[in-house]
Amino acid sequence: MTFVSAVFGVFFIGISILYFCVKREYRWIVLLFGSYFFYWMSSKSLTVVLLFMTIVTFAVGKIIDARNQKSAAYLKEHGELQSGERKAYKNNCKKINTRILILGILLDLSILLFLKYFNFFSDNINELLGWFKIPAGVPTLGLLVPIGLSFYTLQAIAYMTDVYRGKYRADRNFFQFMLFMSYFPQIVQGPIARHDHLAKQLYEGHDFDYQRCTFGLQLALWGLIKKLVIADRLAVPVNMIFNNYGNYSGLVVLLAAFGYGLQVYADFSGGMDLVRGLSQILGIELQLNFKQPYFAKSIEEFWRRWHITLGAWMKDYVFYPLSLSKISGSIGKKTRKIFGNNIGKKIPSFIAMFIVYFLVGFWHGPEWKYIAYGIWNGIFIMSGILLEEFYSNTKKKLGIQEERYSWKAFQTFRTIVLCSVGRFFSRADNLLAAFLMIASTLKGFSNIAFLVDRTLINLGLDTADWVVLCIMLLIMLGVDTAHEKGIKIRQAIAGQGIVFRWLIYYAAIFAVIIFGMYGSGYDSASFIYQQF
């Protein structure tokens, strides 16, 4: 069962009716039943993977929490202990807790590594053996990756780590925890939830609210428009160029990468709007995953606005633990001595940042091109920080006034171009194809004849499709501009008269029905991030 299907529509209506009909204290059971039903329909027997990870994560959280409580009680009872004794006791407890946490993380991570990355490792090991004329020794397995595994593994790790850090107590009810791990709107492609944000909302049960329901429906409808009308339509010319990249060169290839960036944005953020909207109907507020990324003025800012929950996860569970580790501290000490405070203090963070962007890339998929995609972004972020002073001096010398719109527009344009080039890595068939495509953009770059000859029409969309696409892209830009300015569109619509309101609703519904890309040849059912 996928989100963009009639079956899911019927399922969601059924779950919603049941949710609001049963007593408040039992509503989470409806969600749990619905979530496991949804997951079973999508993943069948692979549901056991989700269940296993849930059991491991719950157990590890429970054990660490119990140990935290026990040690706190012991220290309270033995107030007479000297500070050295207290410290030794605490360190000992922490050491054991750390081991339990590492075991839990390894258990959860090993499932992800095995199912998603085993063949990547085996292929590369065999390739390496081939260089030394040694026959392939590691088998390639026909492994199936359960839906959402990359997302809920991160959610599980965050939960165990937070309990370990004492940020919150472990969940007491296993069945409620099952719901936290499996909540159907967000299990497929996020947002990557945190227990202290989502769990209580899931467990407490919400009453029906008309305005919340209409707002949720509007958001979900807008998500469908982004997915079916924009993303799936953009996919046609983008696929045509990426799948036949040898036939194209120059600006049109760069535009394909830019188009793919927009496609992913419409697809992923559309998916997020859909699930956030559906959740809002049930009274559950999922975390925001996008904040108008195409308005970013640097790649670093782009990543603060794009897939926010993944960035936040990487920051809290990879970047800071690495940066604040003892090893990082001693590296920093040495680098400050060698390179001076200004550069030296940044080096440990750069190492952590490099690891983060490597992981961000690798998280997207078991291919070198994704690693290159992560590193591409990481390099620009690090160079931006490293050359900050140089850029600042250059700007002063050139008399650039940063508050001018022209400078801001240039910054945004530069970010979009750099992000678009990065998209070659994530979309091209492989790493070599990505490099070949980047090289081909330089060939005949200034040739803009494709705009007036039949090149665009031969990319799979007719004139009407291009017109629809351009209009919808402009609307998406308008919506993002309004959000950027802090305008709350749904509230603004709610303040209008009934005729105008329904005119907008009908326009949106008909846009999905008439302009959505359906039928054979369009894989509208799946979202791009679902495969990650």
Partner 1 sequence: MREKVIKILEDIRADIDFNHLTQKLIDDEMLDSFDIISIVGELNEAFDVDISVDELLPENFNTPDAMVELITKLQQE
Which C-beta is closer to partner 1: that of 247 or that of 341? 341
The C-alpha R_g of the chain, in whole angstroms, comes to: 25
User: Among 191, 192, 196, which residue's Cα sits nearest to residue 171?
Assistant: 196
Q: How far is the CB of 249 from partner 1 (least distance, A)?
A: 42
Which C-beta is closer to partner 1: that of 282 or that of 318? 318
Which C-beta is closer to partner 1: that of 165 or that of 490? 165
Q: How far is the CB of 348 from partner 1 (least distance, A)?
A: 7
In the chain, what's the furthest Cα-to-Cα distance? Answer: 87
What token pair was written down for 359?
């992981």
SS3 282: coil
Which C-beta is closer to partner 1: that of 165 or that of 483? 165
- Rounded to whole angstroms, the Cα distance separating 161 from 170 reads 11
What token pair was written down for 503?
């005119």
Per-residue b/e over 420-459, b at no fewer than 16 CB within 10 Å?
Answer: bbbbbbbbbeebebbebbbebbeebeeeeebeeeeebeeb
Which C-beta is closer to partner 1: that of 345 or that of 490? 345
Q: How far is the CB of 343 from partner 1 (least distance, A)?
A: 10
Which C-beta is closer to partner 1: that of 16 or that of 349? 349
Distances (CA, A) of 322 to 16, 325, 354, 384: 43, 5, 11, 21
Length of the chain as a residue count = 532
Upper half-sphere CA count for residue 352 (Cβ side, 13 Å):
23
User: Among 522, 531, 530, which residue's Cα sits nearest to residue 231?
Assistant: 522
Which C-beta is closer to partner 1: that of 326 or that of 397? 326
Q: How far is the CB of 306 from partner 1 (least distance, A)?
A: 20
Neighbours of 484 (CB within 10 A): 13
- Rounded to whole angstroms, the Cα distance separating 216 from 235 reads 27
Instruction: Measure the CA angle with vertex 506, ends 265 and 495; round to 5°.
Output: 85
Where does 96-241 show beta strands of DSSP type E? none
Q: How far is the CB of 165 from partner 1 (least distance, A)?
A: 6
Which C-beta is closer to partner 1: that of 344 or that of 460? 344
Q: How far is the CB of 317 from partner 1 (least distance, A)?
A: 8
Q: How far is the CB of 181 from partner 1 (least distance, A)?
A: 23
User: Among 32, 164, 157, 146, which residue's Cα sits nearest to residue 100?
Assistant: 164
CB 461 within 8 Å of CB 233: yes
- Rounded to whole angstroms, the Cα distance separating 421 from 430 reads 14
Q: How far is the CB of 378 from partner 1 (least distance, A)?
A: 16
Residues that bind partner 1 (CB under 8 A): 83, 87, 90, 165, 167, 316, 320-321, 323-324, 326, 328-329, 332-333, 336, 341, 345-346, 348-349
Which C-beta is closer to partner 1: that of 130 or that of 329? 329
- Rounded to whole angstroms, the Cα distance separating 46 from 144 reads 8
Q: How far is the CB of 361 from partner 1 (least distance, A)?
A: 22
Which C-beta is closer to partner 1: that of 87 or that of 488? 87
Run of H or E including 174 = helix 174-182
Q: How far is the CB of 299 from partner 1 (least distance, A)?
A: 17
